[in-house]
Amino acid sequence: MTSTQRPEAEDKATPESAQAAALHTGTSNLRTLVTRNLRQSGIYVAFVVIVALFAIMTDGVLLSPGNITNIVLQYSYILVLAIGMVIVIIAGHIDLSVGSVVALTGAVSAVLVIQQGYTWWVGIIAALVVGVAVGAWQGFWVAYIGIPAFIVTLAGMLLFRGLTLQVLDNISLSPFPSEYQRVANGFLNGLIGGQGYDAFTLLIGAVAVAGYAVSGFRTRVARIRYNQPVESFPLFIARVVAVGAVIMYFAWQLAHARGLPIVLIILGVLVLTYSVVTKRTVFGRQVYAIGGNLSAAMLSGVRVRTVNFWIFVNMGLLSAVAGVIYSSRSNGAQPAAGNMFELDAIAAAFIGGAAVTGGVGTVVGAMVGGLIMAVMSNGMQLMGVDQSIQSVVKGLVLLLAVAFDIYNKRRAGTSR
Q: Does 282 bind another protein (CB under 8 A)?
A: yes
- Region of 52-60, 245-253, 282-290, 372-380 interacting with another protein (CB under 8 A): 282-290
Distance CA 320, CA 315 (A): 9
C-alpha closest to that of 331 among 199, 144, 174, 117:
174
For residue 256, the one-letter residue type is H
| H or E element, residue 260 | strand 260-261
Q: Which of residues 145 and 299 has its CB atom nearest to another protein in the complex?
A: 299
Q: Which of residues 293 and 381 has its CB atom nearest to another protein in the complex?
A: 293
What are the backbone dihedrals phi and psi of residue 45, each rounded to the nearest 5 degrees, phi first? -60, -45
Classify residue 109 as exposed, middle or buried by CB count within 10 Å of its CB (0-12, 13-18, 19+).
buried
Is the alpha carbon torsion for 342, 344, 349, 355 positive or negative?
A: positive
Q: Which of residues 193-252 bind another protein (CB under 8 A)?
A: 222-223, 225-229
Distance CA 78, CA 372 (A): 12
Q: Which of residues 2 and 195 has its CB atom nearest to another protein in the complex?
A: 2
Out of 4, 14, 170, 388, which residue is the one contacting another protein (CB under 8 A)?
4
C-alpha closest to that of 46 among 272, 371, 380:
371
Q: Cβ of residue 215: shortest distance to another protein, in angstroms?
A: 12
* Whether the Cβ atoms of residue 169 and residue 143 lie closer than 8 Å to each other: no
What are the backbone dihedrals phi and psi of residue 186, each rounded to the nearest 5 degrees, phi first? -85, 160
Q: Which of residues 36 and 399 has its CB atom nearest to another protein in the complex?
A: 36
Q: Does 171 bind another protein (CB under 8 A)?
A: no
Q: Which of residues 288 and 312 has its CB atom nearest to another protein in the complex?
A: 288
Q: Which of residues 259 and 291 has its CB atom nearest to another protein in the complex?
A: 291
What are the backbone dihedrals phi and psi of residue 187, each rounded to the nearest 5 degrees, phi first? -135, 150
Out of 296, 336, 356, 392, which residue is the one contacting another protein (CB under 8 A)?
296
Out of 9, 11, 12, 146, which residue is the one contacting another protein (CB under 8 A)?
11
- Region of 144-152, 196-204, 234-242, 274-282 interacting with another protein (CB under 8 A): 274-282
Q: Does 410 bind another protein (CB under 8 A)?
A: no
Q: Does 301 bind another protein (CB under 8 A)?
A: yes
3-state secondary structure 152-175: HHHHHHHHHHHHHHHHHCCCCECC
Q: Which of residues 94-113 bind another protein (CB under 8 A)?
A: none
* Whether the Cβ atoms of residue 99 and residue 339 lie closer than 8 Å to each other: yes
Q: Does 288 bind another protein (CB under 8 A)?
A: yes
For residue 271, the one-letter residue type is V
For residue 397, the one-letter residue type is V
Q: Cβ of residue 413: shortest distance to another protein, in angstroms?
A: 9
Out of 302, 324, 372, 397, which residue is the one contacting another protein (CB under 8 A)?
302
Q: Which of residues 396 and 412 has its CB atom nearest to another protein in the complex?
A: 412
Question: Cα-Cα-Cα-Cα dihedral of 352, 78, 338, 394, to 10°?
Answer: -50
Out of 17, 28, 166, 281, which residue is the one contacting another protein (CB under 8 A)?
281
Distance CA 281, CA 287 (A): 10
Helix runs in 293-362, H state only: 294-298, 304-329, 341-351
Distance CA 293, CA 291 (A): 6
Out of 108, 224, 360, 398, which residue is the one contacting another protein (CB under 8 A)?
360
Distance CA 331, CA 177 (A): 9
Q: Cβ of residue 159: shortest distance to another protein, in angstroms?
A: 32
Q: Which of residues 217 and 249 has its CB atom nearest to another protein in the complex?
A: 217
Q: Cβ of residue 25: shortest distance to another protein, in angstroms?
A: 9
Q: Cβ of residue 97: shortest distance to another protein, in angstroms?
A: 28
Distance CA 352, CA 247 (A): 19
Q: Which of residues 325 and 363 has its CB atom nearest to another protein in the complex?
A: 363
Q: Does 298 bind another protein (CB under 8 A)?
A: yes
Q: Cβ of residue 237: shortest distance to another protein, in angstroms?
A: 22
Is the alpha carbon torsion for 240, 246, 249, 252 positive or negative?
A: negative
Q: Which of residues 1 and 340 has its CB atom nearest to another protein in the complex?
A: 1
Q: Which of residues 143 and 333 has its CB atom nearest to another protein in the complex?
A: 143
Residues lying near another protein in the complex (CB under 8 A): 1-5, 7, 11, 222-223, 225-229, 280-283, 285-286, 288-289, 292-293, 295-303, 355, 359-360, 414-416
